[in-house]
Amino acid sequence: MTAQNTPPVFTLHSGSLPLLISIPHLGTRIPADIAATMTPVAQRTDDCDWHLDRLYAFARRMGASILAPTYARYVIDLNRPPDGANLYPGQDTTGLLPVDTFDKEPLYREGQLPDEAEVARRRDAYWMPYHAALASELAALKARHGKVLLWEAHSIRSHVPRFFEGRLPDFNFGTSNGASAVAGLAEELAAVVERHGDYSAVANGRFKGGYITRHYGEPSQGVHAVQLELSQITYMQEQLPYAYDEALAGKIEPLLEQLVTTAFERVNAA
């Protein structure tokens, strides 16, 4: 693939509001040179946060900035620390360069695991540009408005025994136990879902926020970050071909917009 037709590492839509929607696991592309070292299962990109750009289309109409990567989390996980440290000590999780799927299927052919030089190359080529764009957009929005809400949009299958027992709650809000956003925000958002009545919700449960939420969320500096890990069963088919479900999504989209609006208003009132 030549340089001129290589897809960009990310896409950024700059909006008018102090609101940035980051979707770090949306990408599905795997460069040919990396794919050549991987198993066939890797090509399915099973652990993608499917269709979230479509589900969050309302945010663009609201005036939000939206940042999304082109490449899959199997290439490099943008929501992990650059040193690969485990965000949940003592719990199983996938790393900066995942070597297996959520179902523990190997991603690399025998003898083809990336070495430290390859980790560094991918960090420079994919991780750094996304985070540079994220930091730059947050700084620009904060400079223009005085404060900013960073909404980390994620989704995951409702059942992943590797990470949690039973069925995951539908809405999983994380603010690093309150450290990354105005006090009580995750609990307030969970209460909105509970009042809606059709879905379950939890605040700072199994998912407390990944690297992006924890690293960029500095409420004392005017940057408030919240992560939503949305159960995929609420808006799509959880098995191949991972199809978007218009009926389910149409039901959940108004609630999702209400949640983003609630968080935005709460941050601006802080």
- Preceding omega of 241 cis (within 30 degrees of 0): yes
Residue 120, Cα to own-chain centre: how many angstroms?
22
Q: Domain of 248: which CATH number? A: 3.40.630.40
pLDDT above 50 for 1: no
What share of the chain in percent tops pLDDT 70?
A: 98
Q: Which of 184, 183, 181, 225 is nearest to 20 (CA)?
A: 225
Q: Which of 190, 157, 159, 188 is nearest to 172 (CA)?
A: 190
- What DSSP letter does each residue of 58-81 carry, written as one string? HHHHHT-EEEEESB-TTT--TTS-
Range of the domain at 158: 3-269
Report H helices in 51-209.
Answer: 52-55, 57-62, 116-122, 128-145, 185-196
* The overall pTM is greater than 0.85: yes
Q: What is the β-pairing status of strands 65-69 and 10-13? A: antiparallel
Average of per-residue pLDDT across 85-99: 81
Average of per-residue pLDDT across 208-236: 97
pLDDT single digits (tens) 179-221: 999 999 999 999 999 999 999 999 999 899 999 999 999 999 9
> What CA–CA distance (Å, rounded) separates 52 from 267?
23
Q: Count how many domains the chain has.
A: 1
pLDDT single digits (tens) 119-170: 999 999 999 999 999 999 999 999 999 999 999 999 999 999 988 889 999 9
Confidence of residue 4 (pLDDT cuts 50, 70, 90): low
